[in-house]
Chain A
Amino acid sequence: MSILMRVVEWFTNPAHWTGPDGIPIRLLQHVLLSAESVLIGALIALPIGIVLGHYGRFGTAAMNISNVGRAIPSFALLALSFQIFGLGDAPIIISLTALAIPPMVTNSYVAMREVDPDIKEAARGMGYRELAQVLRVELPLAVPLVMGGIRTSAVQVVATATLAALIAGGGFGRYIIDGLAQFDYTKLVAGAILVALLALATEAGLAGVERLLIPRGLRLLSSPATKRVTFKAA
């Protein structure tokens, strides 16, 4: 029986949809680990990127943090986290959060810098004070790129969360790592398909959210996609 047939059989086996090693539980684990990391990362990264971008300070640092983040092997982050913090979800979330921060800082910084200075000038002229200017004028215009940064982070985190299985993490990565250890190539391929689908769903889902959040007037402008700083860590 070809590997594809066996994989189809694996998916149609109800035993694989129940229990602690079943697809729903693994999906939940994977999504929770990723979402928590991106959320915490956003709480840290977005304020930093937005503030730095608004004042135009420390630009080189903000731009380069992504390059540094790109260079650190995601897998090493997880291993180091285990050796420092031990076993459990907390070390995984710590390393995934660290991974999520650089793209969000860089992209939100660039997003704020991209806001037309004339608009900022006009807002100041109209009497907007600093915080109001940021919240009501600049941020809405910066939303596409900021969301782009969140999207990049989220996809990276979902991909790296797969490797968390190496430090006893849950999620779809379990099927891949266990499949490798047990020489169960059916489980391996099934896990790979699930991971790929989840990553694609994350990308597509957040792209949808991005589109919903863009102020109507902006949609007519050219896509900022090429300005989005993206990288692949896993």
Chain B
Amino acid sequence: MNWKSRSALLGCVVGLALMAAACGSSPSTASSSPKGTITVAGFKFSEGSVLAELYGQALQHAGYTVNFKLNLGSREVVAPAIKSSQIDLYIGYAATDLEYYNSAAGEANGDVTATTAKLNSHLQPLGLVALTPSAAQDQNGFAMTQANAQKYNATKLSDLAAIGGQLVLGAGPECPTRPFCQLGLQNTYGIHFKSFKALDTDGPLTRAALKNNDIQVGLVFTSDADLKSLGLVVLQDDKHLQNADNVVPIVRKSVANAEVTKILNSVSAGLTTDELVQLNSQVELQHQDADVATKAFLQQHNYFS
């Protein structure tokens, strides 16, 4: 864009804002469809928005009115919300959700069907149900820079047990108490880090800290799109601390009628990890809006036929 259209655009933005201020704002209220309203919540990271939009738009296309509550928070916020019926649906991860609802009893394993069944046994008394899990997975991953991986000769997490005291771990502030994060690394692998640095959950601060060597091990998500381009090596989870964290819709039973279940399951069936990574790439790296990227995805896969 040349400078003339740029200044015109900037002028329009400011002018619009002032006009809108004069007119006041009012939320547009869509009339509720006869099929009813479903409130979908997303976790507070970009993949959370992607997944919420993906399933939510599929329901919208089928004629449901969908309320999106994106970036609602971590599971500590989302789970109570669905238990109290403030939201109807959120897209979770089988193993992590199981360990949340069973108070970290350690029931999750690598078998997604068994894990989901156990999850449902805990959800049932709450009036919730986990539908058929997708093949797409997103687990916690612990990454090092290529340079550090070579320096410490580390390819898998158990390689770190002996040298834990030389390494600093970086992740979101909740990591030290999470069974799939620092706690798990301690208990399953026997890794005792020199120290922990609170940064962000799989965000730019963690990546910058890895690059600066402020931390040697950082938490990332295995479905992140930029790991390769950043030269980050995800250490192999050889003792299977992370489990079947397959994408799975968790929905209130009273909302999960036959049609809703069918729609959500068809989205799950059509989603692979690679495609999730692709969507993440569009949203996280190219800064596309989650709803725009997922709409294109759904159209491409003929969900809107």
Measured CB to CB, the residues of A under 8 A from B are 20, 82, 86-88, 167-168, 174, 177-178, 181-183
Best-buried of B174, B197, B208, B211 by chain A (most CB within 10 Å):
B208
Pairwise interchain contact B173-A168, C-beta atoms closer than 8 A: no
Shortest 6 CB-CB contacts between residues of A and residues of B: A87-B208, A178-B173, A181-B173, A168-B205, A168-B199, A182-B173
What is the CA–CA distance of A178 and B172 in the complex, to the nearest angstrom?
A: 9
A181 and B174 form a contact (CB under 8 A): yes
Using CB atoms, name the residue of chain B closest to A83.
Answer: B204
Q: Kindly supply a per-residue 1/0 record for chain B positions 176-191, scoring 1 wherever the CB is within 8 Å of any chain A CB and 0 otherwise.
A: 0100000000000000
In the complex, the answer to whether B205 meets A183 with C-beta atoms within 8 Å is no
Interchain CB contact under 8 A, B76 and A168: no
CB closest chain-A residue, reference B206: A168
Determine the chain B residues whose CB is within 8 A of the CB of A88 once the complex forms. Answer: 212, 214
**A-contact bits for B203-220, CB 8 A (1 contact / 0 none):** 011001101101000000
B32 at the binding interface (Cβ < 8 Å): no
- Cβ contacts under 8 Å, A167 to chain B: 205
Interchain CB contact (< 8 A) of B209 among A20, A87, A182, A183: A87
Task: Name which residue of chain A comes closest to B214, CB basis.
Answer: A87
**Measured between alpha carbons, how far is A174 from B173 in the docked complex, in Å?**
10
| CB-defined contacts of B209 to chain A, threshold 8 Å | 87, 168
Check B166 for interface membership: any CB of A closer than 8 A.
Answer: no
Most buried by B among A87, A88, A181, A183: A87
Instruction: Pull 11 A–B residue pairs with CB atoms less than 8 Å apart, ordered by A.
Output: A86-B211, A87-B211, A87-B214, A168-B198, A177-B173, A178-B173, A178-B198, A181-B172, A182-B174, A182-B177, A183-B76
Within 8 Å of chain A (Cβ to Cβ): is B7? no
Q: B145: shortest Cβ distance to chain A, in Å? A: 14
A174 and B198 in contact, given A87-B214, A181-B173, A183-B76 (Cβ under 8 angstroms)? yes
What is the CA–CA distance of A181 and B173 in the complex, to the nearest angstrom? 7
Which residues in B have their C-beta under 8 angstroms from that of A20? 195
Other A-B contacts than A181-B174, A183-B77, 7 sampled, CB-CB below 8 A, are A20-B195, A82-B204, A87-B209, A87-B211, A168-B197, A168-B214, A181-B198
Q: How many A-B residue pairs have CB under 8 A?
A: 37
Residue of A nearest to B207 (CB): A87
Cβ proximity bits B134-173 to A, threshold 8 Å, 1 near / 0 not: 0000000000000000000000000000000000000011
| Interface contact B173-A87, CB-CB below 8 Å | no
Nearest-neighbour CB distance to chain B for A177, whole angstroms, equals: 8
A183 / chain B contacts, CB cutoff of 8 Å: 76-77
Q: In the complex, are the beta carbons of B212 and A87 less than 8 A apart? A: yes
- Residues of the A chain whose Cβ atoms lie less than 8 Å from the Cβ of B199: 168
Interface residues of B in 272-287 (CB under 8 A from A): none
Q: Are B173 and A86 in contact (CB under 8 A)?
A: no
Query: Which residues on the B side are within 8 Å of A168 (C-beta)?
Result: 197-199, 205, 208-209, 214
A88 — nearest CB in chain B belongs to which residue? Answer: B212
CB-CB nearest in chain B for A187: B173
A222 to B162, CA, bound (A): 69
Closest to A19 in B: B195
B residues less than 8 Å from A181 (CB atoms): 172-174, 198
Minimum Cβ distance to chain B for residue A163 (Å): 14
Q: Is the CB of A87 within 8 A of B174?
A: no
In the docked arrangement, what's the CA distance between A183 and B205, Å? 20
Complex Cα distance, B178 from A181, in Å, reads: 13
Residues of A close to B198: CB separation below 8 A: 168, 174, 177-178, 181
A72 to chain B, nearest CB (A): 18
The one of B172, B195, B205 in contact with A87, judged by C-beta atoms closer than 8 angstroms, is B205
Set A86, A174, A178, A182: member contacting B212, Cβ < 8 A: A86
**B197 cross-chain contacts in A, Cβ below 8 A:** 168
Write out, one digit per residue, whether chain B residues 63-79 have a CB within 8 A of any chain A CB (1) or not (0).
00000000000001100
Bound: A178/B173 CA distance, A: 6
Q: Whole-angstrom distance between the alpha carbons of A177 and B197 in the complex? A: 13
* B window 212-230: CB within 8 A of A: 212, 214
Q: CA–CA, A167 to B214, complex, Å?
A: 13
With both chains docked as a complex, state the minimum distance between the C-beta of A80 and any C-beta of chain B, in angstroms. Answer: 13
Q: A102 vs B58: C-alpha distance in the bound complex, in angstroms? A: 53
Q: What is the bound-complex CA distance between A20 and B209, given in angstroms? A: 17
Residues of chain B within 8 A (CB-CB) of A178 are 173, 198
- Smallest Cβ distance from B213 to chain A, in angstroms? 10
How far is A113 from B2 in the complex, measured between Cα atoms in Å? Answer: 46
Q: Looking across the interface, which residue of chain A has its beta carbon closest to that of B170?
A: A168
Residues of chain B within 8 A (CB-CB) of A174 are 198
B3 CB, nearest partner CB in chain A, Å: 23
A108 to chain B, nearest CB (A): 35
Query: How many Å lie between the Cα of A167 and that of B203 in the bound state?
Result: 11
> In the docked arrangement, what's the CA distance between A177 and B77, Å?
17
